[in-house]
Amino acid sequence: MLKKSLAFFLIFIFVSAYATEIWSEDIQTPQTPIDDSKQPYTRDDVYRQLELFSTALSYVLGNYRENLTKEQLEKVMSEAIRGMLQGLGDRYSFYQEETSRKREQENLFFAKFGGIGIRILPSPDGFVYVVQPMDGSPAMKAGLHSGDKILAVDGKSIENQALEDVVNIIRGEVGTKVTLTILRQGIDSPFDVVVTRAIINYPSVKSTIIDKNIGYISISDFTAETATELNKSIEELRGKGMKGLILDLRGNSGGMLTSAVDVSSTFISEGLIVSTDGRLDRFDAEYRATAKEKLDKDFVKYTTSIPLILLVNNGSASGSEIVAGAIKDHKRGLLIGERTFGKGVVQQRFPLDENRAVSITVSIYKTPNGNWIHEKDLFSVDVNMQKELDEGKIPEGLRQEFANNKIPLSGSATIKTKDRIRNKGVRWQINDGENIYTVKKEEGKIKISQGGVNPDIEVEQPNLLEDSGDSDAVKMLTKFYEGEYVNKFVYDYVEKHKEQSPEEQLNGLLGKMPELMKTLSDNGITLSERIVRMYVRRTFSSTQSAPNIDLENDLQLARAVEEITKQIK
C-alpha cells in the first residue's frame, strides 16, 4: 500500500510540474532510433523512473531495521537530490542548503567569508585543483600553491562532487583546522596539508603604477563592488599620469555576471558584451554595455581610448572569460597569456522551499561574435587512431595535422602545428594559428574539444621548480613552507621598519637575502635564490594594499609591459 501511495504521489507531482513547464517540452522520439538510450526522454520514461525511485524508497521505509526519524528522512532525500544532480555529469549543477546559500551570498556581496583563501576549479579527472592561493592567506602559509590537486578533504574523497559542495566542505568555523589531501606534480604520492580556517577579507581590486606611466590593476573576483573599485582605481592611476593600462585577470575564477558586464563596460562604451543561449528561449538573454548609463562622459572617453592589455591564463574562468571575450571581439585591447579555462555556463536557482534550492545549468555564454566560452567536445576517436576520421567533424585548421600525425598517449607530444603543442598530463592544447583545441584521453578515446578565450599573444608562465632541474625542489619547497622561514623573515622586517615606505621595505628585504639563504642552508634547504626571492616578493605583497610586481619571474607581465610601452610611444 505504501509503495502504491508513494508512486501515485510522485507521479502526481510530476504531472503538476509538467503542467507548469518546469519540465522540458514534449519531444517526439524518432520511429526507428539507432540507440534508444540516446534519444530524448518521453513522459513515459519519466513515469517509469519515478516509479522505480518510489519503489526503492518504499522498500527503505518499510523494511529498514529502524524507523527513520524526520531528520534521517530529510537527509536521505537530500542525498537523493544531490545524487540526481551528480548524475548529470555537470559539476556546476548542485543542491544547495541554507548554510551554503548564506555563505555564497556573503562571499559575492561582501567578499568576506570563513575559509582558507584559495580559488579552485574542476580538473578533468573529477577532482579540483588550486588555481592560486591568495597572498598571505592560511592556504599560502600552509604551503599550498597553484596546480595542487585536491583529492580529499578531512579524509573523504571529493571525486566527482559539485564544485559548490567542495567549497562548502573546505569552509568551516573560523579557527578550526581542515586537512586537504594533495597530489603535487613532482611528488609521487599524495600527502596531507593541514590548514587553519580564518576570516578571509581580500580586496577584489589592487592597483599600482609601473615605470611611471603604466597602470596595473589586478581583479581577483567579480563581486557587487568590483566595478566601482575598478573605476576608483583607474581615477587614482589617471591622476598619477597613467597612459596605458594592464588589467590582470589571471587566476580570477569568476563571480557575478552583472559585475563582469560592468567591468567590460568600463572599456567598451556600447554594444553587446555577452549573450546566453539555452535550450529554452526563456533562458536566452543579451547583456549590453552599461557605461553610458552609469559613468561620467569624460571618464568613459578616457577609459574607452586608453591603450589596454588584458592578462589571462588557464585559471581565468567564467566572469573573466566574459571580459576577455568582449575585449577581444570588440578589438578594444590585446590579450596576453594563456588560453582561459573554458567555464561558460549559466546556472539558475530553483527554490525547493524556504531554505533549500537546486542550481541547474540552463544556458551557456557566448562572446559578442557568437563564440562559445564553455569547453565543448567536437569529436572523439579510438586511442589507437586506427578508425578513419570523419573530416567533416575536424576543424579546418587541424585536418592536415591529423592527416600526417598521431596523437601520443604519453610522453612528449609530436604533433606539428603552426605554433606549438603543450603537454599537460593527459591533456594537450593544439594551436593551429587561429583556434586552440584541447585534447584529452578519456575512457579509451581521445576527445577533441574547443572553448575558452585564446590570447592574441601566447606566453607560457615558467614553473621555476620544474625548470630548476632539481628533482628534490618540490620536496624542498614543502619543507621550506613548513618552517615558515619567509613568513618570519618578511613579517619581522616589516614590523621593525614601519617608518619606511613599501618600496624601501621591499628593497631592504631583498638586500638581506644572503641572511635568509644562509638560514635555509643551515636547515638543509637548497632552493635557488631566484625561487626564494619570488616567494619573498609574494609574501611581502600580502602585507600591502598594492599588488605584487615581479618582472623578473612573471614573463607574462613583462611581455605586457613591453607591448603597452610600444602603444604608449
Q: Which residues are catalytic, by number?
A: 318, 329, 343
For 125, residues 6+ apart whose C-beta sits below 8 A from its C-beta are: none
DSSP 385-419: --SPP-GGGS-HHHHHHHHH----SSSS-----SS
For 341, residues 6+ apart whose C-beta sits below 8 A from its C-beta are: 121, 253, 314, 315, 316, 317, 318, 321, 375, 452
Find the farthest-apart pair of alpha carbons in the chain and give their distance in angstroms, rounded.
Answer: 83
Set of cell numbers at residue 376: 565543448
User: Cα separations (Å) of 569 from 203, 235, 243, 518?
Assistant: 32, 22, 10, 44
Q: How many residues can be counted in the chain?
A: 569
Query: How far apart are alpha carbons 308 and 137 in whole angstroms?
Result: 30
For 226, residues 6+ apart whose C-beta sits below 8 A from its C-beta are: 204, 205, 219, 255, 256, 259, 262, 263
Set of cell numbers at residue 178: 581542515
Query: How far apart are alpha carbons 52 and 160 in whole angstroms?
Result: 24
For cell 576543424, name the residue: 395
DSSP label of 64: S
Set of cell numbers at residue 120: 579552485
Beta partners for residue 132, in sequence order: 119
| Cβ 40 vs Cβ 27: under 8 Å | yes
User: Cα separations (Å) of 225 from 135, 232, 249, 266, 359?
Assistant: 20, 11, 16, 14, 24
User: Cα separations (Å) of 532 from 55, 146, 453, 489, 515?
Assistant: 62, 16, 33, 11, 12
Query: How far apart are alpha carbons 140 and 259 in whole angstroms?
Result: 27
| Cβ 373 vs Cβ 453: under 8 Å | yes
Beta partners for residue 358, in sequence order: 95, 350
Query: How far apart are alpha carbons 61 and 43 in whole angstroms?
Result: 27
Set of cell numbers at residue 99: 548554510
